[in-house]
Amino acid sequence: MRLMFIDPPAMKPRSTTVVIMLVSLWLASLGNIALWQSFFAVPEISGWQGMLFGCAFAFVIACLIAALLSLFAWKVTLKLAITLLLLLAAFSTYYMLMYGIVVNTSMVLNVFQTDYREARDQISWRLAVTVFLIAVLPSIWIWRQPFVHTSLLRQILRNSSIFVVSIVMAVGTLQLVFQDFASLMKSRTEMRFQINPLNSLYGVARLTVFPSKVDRGPLLAIGTDAQISTYNNSLNTHPPLLVFVVGETARSQNFSLNGYDRTTNPLLQKEAVASFTNVKSCGTSTAESLPCMFSHLGRSAFNDRENEVENMLDVLYRAGYAVLWIDNQSGCKEQCARIPSVSTSELKIPAHCSGGECRDTVMLERITDEIAKLPAERRAKGTVVVLHQMGSHGPAYFKRTPTEFKTFKPECTDSSLSQCDRSEIVNAYDNTIVFTDYFLSRVISWLKAQEKTSTPAMLYVSDHGESLGEKNMYLHGLPYSVAPPEQTTVPMITWLSPGFEKLSRVSTKCLQNHRDKALSHDNLFHSVLGLMAVKTSVYQRELDFFAACEGR
Ligand SMILES: [Zn+2]
């Protein structure tokens, strides 16, 4: 018997064109499960016609991906480009399927600005499986393929023909189903942000290659004439002290102060607060809302602004107040760039901090000392402190509350919300509101303790809301035009000490009577300046919601 040594069969070199076609079909079908799930959920799409329309839609997507890949179909770049597209598609698919989100520019911006703690909350084995199936497996196959060697001239010819043929086929197919396609895109705008991986590429391109909307002109100063108008001097009161709490992911409807049928505000309901029920946010994510909340421009003008513009805190500072930002979250998004700021999220105070994050109450642990560091001559005029909460940040709501605040049980303790019963998700979320209720009542207690030296007040507003399974949507960040009210209706609560009511001549009684008035983040800039008696030409009294209650 003779021993035979057989070489493993040499792999047949693949034509790049075939690989591009296969990858494009893979991405258009499996890489777009989230899109097809929403597509076939549209009631008007059914039967054979719906199926044909779906196939045509998928074919158009495949052609566009092929055209895109043809630009990178060079020996050194093709495998890298394919791997990158597969990864983008896999990550987006996971988030779209798990949380019902879509991938638009602001979502991409969120990804860039996410801090590691939030990212850590979201890592799960389901993410690993999705990425493995959609991206890693096909990538392994791709990297093992030898490509056919061709001359540069032939490569140029081949790439340009793939590009032209793909575009012609995409346009041709689109023409055949144009009526259906146009009406679908009009009625289901969010679907265009579900097309993988074109959605994430478009988002990245909007932020980097075409940054006209992001990279704005130099910073414009506003309120250069700002002054503190003479408060009623005869009152001879202590200087005002306003704590402005910026909430996180709190939605209005889950506050019992606003009519929620669960007691989520057991402590605040004992305080003399005014809780506004009809307040709209400026955006549906922190990155979008936060800068807009402090701007004088209002939502639409803010989105169209050509320059970066100074904010409410700059004007308060210029008027002469001591201003401070305390951050227990992912930073102030440039809002505290020109004023003193501290971060408490990395502190290691055992009573408040564990597992690399601190409870919002840690900010009260620091506030007295941090205020003491501000210039005395400014503090003599008055102080404004922003407290930026971790609040109800998801999806790991259960991580935001200490055991003794877990009023509603059982809680969802899985970061992949879709693995929990909806009631468990709502329980975990409501517990974060109970904790925010405690935090705000602690802020008020702290303010009351300052009455010997200051005239205190508190304003609390959340940055955006949250979806908790309504219409199968979770979390936040949908494009504003299609975002459900759960993501855009935010709580706003004011507390004025008796001294502050006298000083500002604004009565809480009157505010309570106006609690259902339609308001939005657009009102904040002018209302805070009004409350703090700042005189400046940028102030618009008609947007100041305290003004209606002045002297009443
Ligand atoms: Zn937020």
**How many whole angstroms from 307 Cα to the centroid of ligand 1?**
24
What is the pLDDT, as a whole number, of residue 178? 84
One-letter amino acid of 291: P
3-state helix, strand, coil in the chain (%, to 5): 50, 15, 35
Residue 498 alpha carbon to ligand 1 centre in Å = 32
Instruction: Give the separation between CA 42 and CA 59, rounded to whole angstroms.
Output: 19
> Residue 124 class from Cβ within 10 Å (0-12 exposed, 13-18 middle, 19+ buried)?
middle
Tell me if the pTM is above 0.85: no
> How far is the centre of ligand 1, averaged over its atoms, from the C-alpha of 368 (Å)?
26
Taking the centre of ligand 1 as the mean of its atom positions, its distance from the CA of residue 30, in whole angstroms, is 31
Measured in Å, residue 390 CA sits from the centre of ligand 1 at 9
Cβ count within 10 A of residue 136: 16
Q: Residue 464 Cα, ligand 1 centroid: separation in angstroms?
A: 6
How many angstroms is it from 280 CA to the middle of ligand 1? 14
What DSSP string runs through 115-176? Answer: -HHHHHHH--HHHHHHHIIIIIHHHHHHHHPPBPP--HHHHHHHHHHHHHHHHHHHHHHHHH
DSSP-derived 3-state class of residue 226: coil
Q: How far is the CA of 477 from the centre of ligand 1 (A)?
A: 9
Band the pLDDT of 395: cuts 50, 70, 90.
confident
CA of 223 to the centre of ligand 1 (A): 27
What is the rounded distance in angstroms from the CA atom of residue 346 to the CA atom of residue 357? 6
Give residue-wise pLDDT tens across range 179-231.
888 888 877 777 888 898 888 888 888 777 765 555 577 899 999 999 999 75
Give pLDDT, residue 211: 56
Q: How far is the CA of 332 from the centre of ligand 1 (A)?
A: 11
Rounded distance from Cα 109 to ligand 1 centre (Å) = 13
Q: Above 70 in pLDDT, residue 121?
A: no
Q: Measured between alpha carbons, how far is 372 from 58 in angstroms, rounded to an integer?
A: 62
- pLDDT at position 1: 43
Distance (Å) from CA 412 to ligand 1 centroid: 20
End-to-end CA distance of the chain: 109
pLDDT at 3: 47
Residue 232 pLDDT greater than 60, yes or no = no
> Which pair of structure tokens corresponds to residue 477?
């960040």
349 alpha carbon to ligand 1 midpoint, in Å?
A: 24
CA distance 240 to 226: 17
Ligand 1: distance of its center to the CA of 111 in Å?
13
Segment 339-392, tens digit of pLDDT: 999 999 888 899 999 888 899 999 999 999 999 999 999 999 999 999 999 999
Q: How far is the CA of 250 from the centre of ligand 1 (A)?
A: 9
Exposure of 358 in the CB half-sphere (CA atoms within 13 A): 24
CB 287 within 8 A of CB 530: no
Compare 95 and 523 and report the one with higher pLDDT.
523
218 Cα: distance to centroid of ligand 1 (angstroms): 26
Cα 110 to middle of ligand 1, angstroms:
10
Give the percent of the chain with pLDDT over 70. 93
Pseudo-torsion of CA 543, 544, 546, 547, nearest 10°? -90
Do the beta carbons of residue 216 and residue 524 sit within 8 Å?
A: no
